[in-house]
Structures are given as structure tokens and as C-alpha cells.
Amino acid sequence: FNALMKKKEKITMVLSDAYYQS
């Protein structure tokens, strides 16, 4: 469960970063 949360958190960071870059 913890690993899943970490993965989801990383994906969210990547998506938000890509969103702000564009």
C-alpha cells in the first residue's frame, strides 16, 4: 500500500510538472 501511494505521488508530480511546463 505504501509503495502504491509513493508511485501515485510520483505520477502526480510528473503530471503536474508537465502541466506547468506547457
- This prediction has a pTM of 0.45
pLDDT for 12 beyond 80 = yes
The mean pLDDT of the chain is 90
- pLDDT score of 20: 87
pLDDT band at 22 (very low <50, low <70, confident <90, very high): confident
Q: Cell numbers at residue 22, please?
A: 506547457
pLDDT for 15 beyond 80 = yes
User: Element (H or E) spanning 14, and its range?
Assistant: helix 2-21
16 to 1, 3, 7, 11: CA distances (angstroms): 22, 20, 14, 9
- How many CA atoms, within 13 angstroms, populate the side-chain half-sphere of residue 4? 1
pLDDT for 17 beyond 80 = yes
pLDDT for 1 beyond 90 = no
